[in-house]
Amino acid sequence: MHVGNDANLGALAEATFGVGRTHRNVFYVMLSEGIGGGVIVDGRIYQGQTGAAGELGHIVVNPDGQICRCGNRGCLATVAGGAALTTALRQIHGPDMTVDDLIALSHDDDPGAARLIADAGEAVGRVLAATCTLLDPELVIIGGELAPAGPPLLNTIQASLDRWISPATGHYPVVLGELGSKAEVLGAIALAMSHIPEQTFPPI
């Protein structure tokens, strides 16, 4: 049996059927309640020794920050994950705030939602600067529940990445995924396809 986590499936989907299909080396960022990442190297998913490759959500960005569910303080997920962002807005908009509500507020130019998305994008971009320095991908793809925030999120991530990356490493385009909520299902299909053995036929 071949199993992939949500971020790896999203990476496979976008690399096979989506915006990354013309590239061999991409990094996929899944911004949802938590934050995950998927690494595509030479057209194939790279999972690492334990399957945790690409999990940038647990990179520490603020050692004095909030406790993360992993046990560390100040992981990226505690700053830029959907759960952290909606928790911050519940103080203003009530206890039923969801990621979809956050997106809707940002589209309506709510100043609190806009600030949270900008801060999240800046933090993600800073972490991506280190990630891109290590992996040197052709493309960074943003997916997950927060992706519909659109240009305000994407532009902030790109600006932060450009600011923190070394000028010697070049430019890494940040783009929105094309597949939206279909990414995980299509990723499972891509994963299954990658393990179908090539057919051999007897000579006629």
Residue 90's alpha-carbon distances to 38, 63, 97, 101, 128, in angstroms, are 30, 24, 6, 11, 28
- Helix (H), strand (E) counts: the chain: 7, 5
Parse the chain into domains and list their residue ranges: 6-20+28-141+156-168+178-194
Q: What Rg, from alpha-carbon coordinates, does the chain have?
A: 18
pLDDT value of position 2: 43
Torsion of CA 57, 69, 87, 6, to 10 degrees: 50
- pLDDT(3) > 60: no
Residues 55-73 have pLDDT tens digits of: 899 999 999 999 999 899 9
Residues 150-200 have pLDDT tens digits of: 999 999 999 999 999 998 888 999 999 998 877 777 777 777 776 544 444
- Find the mean pLDDT for residues 28-43: 94
CATH code for 6-20+28-141+156-168+178-194?
A: 3.30.420.40
Contact 49, 43 (CB under 8 A): no
Residue 59's alpha-carbon distances to 25, 62, 130, in angstroms, are 22, 9, 10
**Angstrom distance (rounded) from CA 103 to CA 114:** 9
